[in-house]
């Protein structure tokens, strides 16, 4: 492990690291655009210039390997001057339209100009004009004028997604990013290019212009899109969730996440959510508060168990809930109620072992492993044929369904609703409203549940790695967690005072609803 002195601070880094990695390890600021820890070294922005004792010329930190006893600084006047000019070279042809640029607020150029630039520009020539609003594919839009040609996106498609869609065309200051041979940027990792773009050149069609980033807060969470369990940051404001971005975790997802995982914010927003408990069946629904509705479920559950025994109750569970919820659920069902008919609803059993080679797995549930564990620890998994027999034979009177949180990954909802409607009554615990469920043919309860961002807990991913997460924000405060449902079903009450406040959802004019004492 070579020891190296950075700006007078000694730091020890692994053999083979570069000076820029040593800077990061030492917690020293260094200006850079093209270098990204997850990609190869391009060495083209020429901003990570450092002075190494014993070398006559300034060196770029990203391509210089650390040697024992190296003394490096980036605080000398020569380095500062070079970085200032490097910044100037980046900005001379960069349009000054930060106000309409979607990257403003999280832009590498803005941040690093303030930190390392702050010079008086002397550029008085007309700027180079390039293509604006170039459609690169179904997810990404390019603005060539804003591009600083750091080549991160090109390297990403070459090295990480290995789809090779992007390239730099033309030469000199006429260079532009483009798609090779007209083949659009269309892969399941395309939005990572937007994340790594240090400027506003690449923007996501899904997020573009919808919010200014300074209105957003972020919360750490785990992506519920598949069993990989990518670490993510969820960006939200008082109107709801707006986007999901990857969070670095070397053991799980590195720096990346897939595009389908980024859609997992959509079902959390209030527009798709079930806001109150619903009781009834096709055509006639009555609304009740979730807690009240659950209490009436408890009543029915007790009746059924008393009259026909616990075997008249069937429970269907999906792999979308946390380990803690499963523990509470199985404790209540198996130990308290002695229910034996518990079934695992796997959305796409034939695809569960699929893997796209990078991150996305065929098992589209975040916690299948956790559910399997809960089954193993408590009671054997029920057989779907038995359930069918029990339902058509009339043995099963009440079906409790802990249904999908993210309905888009469950194509067989309609089928399951029809199948379970054969019971006298069924109870669906689910986060979002579903048209299929509204068509249920038997007496049905729909109880709103919370989504992953609204609760604390842990998911066990495909490797068996348990990843905990905390409440990020609350969209539907009246919704319940599975643990709370168990409490209510057992006849206990909840502490309502501890409920967080609602985000409220999109309003015509946010200000008008908070007028106060005007």
Partner 1 sequence: MEVKLLSEHYEKPEFQKLEGYKKHGGYQVLSKALKMDPKAIIEEVKASGLRGRGGAGFPTGTKWSFLPANGEPRYLLCNADEGEPGTFKDRLMMERAPHQLIEGMLISAFAIGSKKSYIYIRGEYDYPIAVVRAAIGEAYKAGYLGKNILGSGFDHDMDVYAGAGAYICGEETGMISSLEGLKGQPKLKPPFPAIQGYLRKPTIVNNVETLAAVKYIIRDGAAAYRKYGTEKSAGTKLFSVSGNVVRPGNYEVPLGIPLKTLINDVCGGLRPGRQLKAVIPGGSSAPVLTAEESWKVTMDYEALAQMGSMLGSGAVIVIDDSNNMVDMLSVLMHFYHHESCGQCTPCREGTGWLNKIVHRILHGHGETKDLDLISKVAQQMMGKTICALSDAAAMPAISFVTKFRDEFESHIRKGGHTAQVRGAAHA
Partner 2 sequence: MSLVRRPSPAAQWYLPGILAGMWFTFKKMLSNLFNQKKMPTLNYPEEKYQYGPRFKGNHVLTVKKDGSIRCTACMLCATNCPAQCIKITAAESNDPTVEKYPISYEIDILRCVFCGFCEEACPVDAIRMGPEWQTAGLNGAKFTYDIQHLAYRPQLKGGIVSVLDDQERHRAGI
Write the CA distances from 180 to 132, 154, 167, 361, 451, integer angstroms. 18, 11, 6, 28, 40
Query: Order of strands, edge to edge, in the sheet holding 59-60?
Result: 9-12, 3-6, 70-73, 49-52, 59-60
Radius of gyration of the chain (CA): 28
- Tell me the two tokens of residue 145: 């004028």
Helices 290-308 and 482-489 pack at an angle, to 10 degrees, of 60
166-169 and 231-237 as β-strands: parallel, antiparallel, unpaired?
unpaired
Compute the least distance from the CB of residue 475 to partner 2, in Å: 20
Nearer to partner 2, 498 or 518 (CB): 518
Using the contact rule CB under 8 A, the part of the chain among 15-23, 56-64, 232-240, 305-313 near partner 1 is: 56-64
Q: Which does 212 bind (CB under 5 to 8 A by kind): partner 1, partner 2, none?
A: partner 2
Using the contact rule CB under 8 A, the part of the chain among 162-170, 252-260, 269-277, 339-347 near partner 1 is: 162-170
Write the CA distances from 104 to 47, 123, 203, 278, 317, integer angstroms. 21, 22, 12, 44, 44
Contact between 409 and 318 (Cβ < 8 Å): no
Contact between 250 and partner 2 by CB under 8 A: the answer reads no
**Total residues in contact with partner 2, by rule CB under 8 A:** 23
Contact between 85 and partner 1 by CB under 8 A: the answer reads yes
Q: Residue 168: beta bridge partners?
A: 177
| Among candidate residues 292, 294, 289, 287, the one with its CA nearest the CA of residue 489 | 294
Nearer to partner 1, 57 or 501 (CB): 57
Q: Which does 284 bind (CB under 5 to 8 A by kind): partner 2, partner 1, none?
A: none
Contact between 7 and partner 1 by CB under 8 A: the answer reads no
Q: What is the 3-state secondary structure (H, E, C) of 23-39?
A: HHHHCCCCCCCCCCCCC
Q: Which does 208 bind (CB under 5 to 8 A by kind): partner 1, partner 2, none?
A: partner 2
Q: Which does 214 bind (CB under 5 to 8 A by kind): partner 2, partner 1, none?
A: partner 2
Compute the least distance from the CB of residue 82 to partner 1, in Å: 7
**Which 3 state secondary structure label does DSSP give 110?**
helix
| E-strand stretches of 27-175 | 49-52, 59-60, 70-73, 134-135, 140-142, 166-169
Residues 197-226 that bind partner 2 (CB under 8 A): 208-210, 212, 214-215
> What is the x/- site pattern for partner 2, positions 102-141, by CB under 8 A?
-----------------------xxx-x--xx--------
Give the whole-angstrom CA distance, residue 460 versus residue 463.
Answer: 8
Q: Which does 86 bind (CB under 5 to 8 A by kind): partner 2, partner 1, none?
A: partner 1
Nearer to partner 2, 96 or 497 (CB): 96
> What is the x/- site pattern for partner 2, positions 473-512, by CB under 8 A?
-----------------------------------xxxxx
Give the whole-angstrom CA distance, residue 315 versus residue 342.
Answer: 5
Nearer to partner 2, 96 or 114 (CB): 96
Give the whole-angstrom CA distance, residue 190 versus residue 401.
Answer: 36
Residues 169-208 that bind partner 1 (CB under 8 A): 170-175
Binding site for partner 1 (CB under 8 A): 41-47, 49, 57-58, 63, 81-82, 85-86, 89-90, 92-93, 122-123, 125-126, 128, 148-149, 167-168, 170-175
Binding site for partner 2 (CB under 8 A): 96, 99-100, 125-127, 129, 132-133, 143, 208-210, 212, 214-215, 508-512, 515, 518
């Amino acid at each position: 492990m070579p020891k190296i002195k950075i700006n007078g601070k000694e730091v020890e880094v692994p053999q083979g690291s570069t000076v820029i990695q040593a800077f990061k390890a030492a917690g020293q600021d260094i200006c850079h655009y093209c270098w990204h820890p997850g990609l190869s070294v391009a060495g083209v922005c020429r901003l990570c210039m450092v002075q190494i004792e014993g070398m006559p010329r300034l060196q770029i930190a990203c391509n210089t390997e650390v040697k024992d006893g190296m003394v490096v600084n980036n605080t000398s006047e020569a380095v500062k001057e070079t970085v200032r000019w490097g910044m100037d070279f980046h900005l001379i042809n960069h349009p000054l339209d930060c106000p309409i640029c979607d990257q403003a607020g999280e832009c590498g150029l803005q941040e690093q100009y303030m930190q390392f630039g702050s010079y008086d520009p002397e550029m008085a020539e007309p700027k180079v004009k390039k293509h604006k609003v170039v459609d690169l594919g179904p997810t990404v839009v390019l603005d060539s004028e804003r591009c600083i040609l750091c080549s991160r996106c090109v390297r990403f498609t070459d090295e990480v997604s290995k789809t090779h869609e992007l390239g730099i065309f033309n030469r000199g200051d006429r260079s532009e990013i483009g798609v090779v041979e007209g083949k659009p940027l269309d892969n399941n990792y395309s939005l990572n290019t937007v994340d790594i773009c240090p400027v506003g050149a690449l923007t996501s069609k899904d997020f573009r212009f919808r919010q200014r980033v300074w209105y957003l807060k972020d919360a750490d969470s785990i992506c519920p899109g598949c069993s990989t369990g990518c670490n993510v940051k969820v960006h939200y404001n008082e109107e709801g969730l707006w986007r999901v971005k990857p969070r670095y975790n070397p053991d799980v997802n590195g720096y990346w996440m897939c595009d389908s995982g980024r859609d997992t914010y959509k079902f959390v927003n209030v527009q798709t959510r079930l806001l109150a408990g619903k009781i009834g069946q096709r055509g006639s629904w009555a609304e009740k508060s979730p807690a009240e509705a659950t209490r009436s479920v408890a009543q029915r559950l007790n009746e059924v168990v008393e009259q026909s025994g616990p075997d008249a109750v069937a429970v269907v569970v999906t792999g979308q809930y946390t380990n803690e919820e499963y523990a509470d659920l199985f404790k209540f069902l198996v130990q308290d109620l002695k229910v034996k008919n518990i079934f695992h609803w796997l959305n796409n059993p034939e695809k569960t072992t699929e893997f796209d080679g990078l991150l996305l797995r065929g098992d589209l549930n975040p916690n299948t492993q956790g559910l399997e564990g809960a089954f193993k620890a408590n009671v054997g998994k029920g057989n779907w044929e038995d359930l069918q027999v029990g339902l058509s034979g009339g043995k099963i009177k009440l079906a409790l369904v802990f249904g999908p949180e993210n309905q888009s990954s469950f194509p067989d909802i309609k089928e399951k609703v029809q199948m379970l409607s054969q019971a006298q009554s069924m109870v669906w615990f689910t986060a979002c409203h579903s048209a299929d469920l509204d068509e249920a043919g038997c007496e049905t309860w729909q109880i709103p549940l919370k989504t992953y961002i609204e609760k604390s807990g842990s998911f066990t991913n495909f490797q068996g790695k348990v990843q905990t997460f905390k409440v990020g924000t609350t969209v539907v405060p009246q919704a319940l967690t599975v643990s709370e449902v168990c409490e209510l079903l057992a006849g206990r009450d909840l502490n309502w005072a501890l409920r967080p406040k609602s985000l409220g959802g999109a309003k015509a004019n946010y200000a008008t609803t908070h007028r106060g004492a005007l």
